[in-house]
Structure 1
């Protein structure tokens, strides 16, 4: 199901562009709305959420999938923590389906999926580790990097229960929008992956916007 937002970009409290391969770490307050925009199309935004008041509570794919009975995320999906507490709800979505099974790329997984010589290539997990090291006031380390959401990424489940990485289903200017139910720390790695067809082997920028609580 698709739904356009009623919010105008010009009224946003905050707006930023995340260059391809870079990270973005920011707090979104309870009641505020966060929009992630796929600027050029088919770019994966690997995203983690933490409770800003207790960062050891964080987004949990298992709780989210089990509660909603769907392995894909979309309009109306409630993103739950490991305690089963709603962190955010998707309230607008022009794409229709987002992945939370494929995980973030890492140098190790690049060697498994692609080739041994790909190990030296930059990956989302590197961005996560760098972000937490450069913002250590949150008290988070690489041990706190859990299962993420891949907004705009297409990871179909095969007939035998495996995962496949396919061409993206998003397009230029498509977006997903969420309302926060608690103060959340949002960590996005704008995926630098050059080996995955989801972004046509060409990483591009992502925009993020925040609106004040209604």
Structure 2
């Protein structure tokens, strides 16, 4: 049964949430930094473990080791690329965007933030980021959405790409978590509606994600459902695996927020 709440109830609920959010955000030992500089620094050749260029419409998956960094870069023009991830040692543990948002009191994932698993552990740290334009609310495209939008009976889409990747990993479609869409400038307006804010993008954007556990990571390079371009026009996206190096004791992502520190404590406890 649907219960219609009054404007007063909605306002009171919002006030309570904002008060809790304020307390959560104030308990942050470090201020988060600004955006990373453009262009991206060259990666020394001896630090490149693998480089993959994912064509528009396609997918790719890889295993990453703890402390390796994945640089995802728009070297060939704009595209939104979605990702999901599983703990390589126990693939029942997977990316969890609702917890990522809830524990950090924000949907704005940018440099200094972390991405949690459904076990309260940190899967990724965002160590570099030029846009902050990443969507953890809407999710990826489906066959129905791309067929309706682009007027074709079939076009490659996020959901089907992840089903293929999961199958190759011996997983089922039920094992696919909600996807994080990189370079998707989705925001929420005052009325609670999603909108696409292209002004957040900077051209040859990139993001670097440090792995905080051994993982299987799958990518899908397909248009985002809210992308206003009426043409199916995903450009190739480059993903570079960078060799692991131990983070410093005062590493920003590990010490910026109380929630991140608790998440890394859970990582350490699980490793015992």
Residue 8 of structure 1: aligned partner: 43
Q: Decide whether the 8 Å contact of 1:153 with 1:169 is kept in 2.
A: no
Q: For each residue in 1:55-74, what CA deviation from the matched residue of structure 2 results, as whole angstroms up to 9, or x when unmatched?
A: 11111011100111111211
Q: CA RMSD in A?
A: 2.5
Give the number of the structure whose residues are more often helix, by fraction: 2
CA distance in 2, matches of 1:26, 1:99: 22
Q: TM-score, normalised by structure 2?
A: 0.69
Residue 93 of structure 1 deviates from its aligned partner by: 0.7
Q: Residue 95 of structure 2 contacts residue 116 of structure 2 at CA under 8 Å; is this kept in 1? A: yes
> Which runs of no fewer than 5 residues in structure 1 stay unpaired?
none
Cα distance in structure 2, aligned partners of 1:139 and 1:9:
34
Count matched residues. Answer: 209
- Tell me the CA shift for residue 126 of structure 1: 1.1
Displacement after TM superposition at 1:9 (Å): 5.2
Decide which structure has greater strand share: 1
Q: Which has the higher contact order (CA 8 A, sep 6+)?
A: 1
- What does residue 171 of structure 2 align with? 140
Q: Which structure has the larger Rg over C-alpha atoms?
A: 2
Rounded to whole Å, the distance in 2 between the matches of 1:64 and 1:155 is 17
* 1:19 counterpart (47, 51, 55): 55
For each residue in 1:96-127, what CA deviation from the matched residue of structure 2 results, as whole angstroms up to 9, or x when unmatched? 23111110100234467x48x55633311111
User: Counterpart of 1:41 in 2: which secondary structure?
Assistant: coil
Structure 2 residue ranges without an equivalent (≥5): 1-33, 246-272
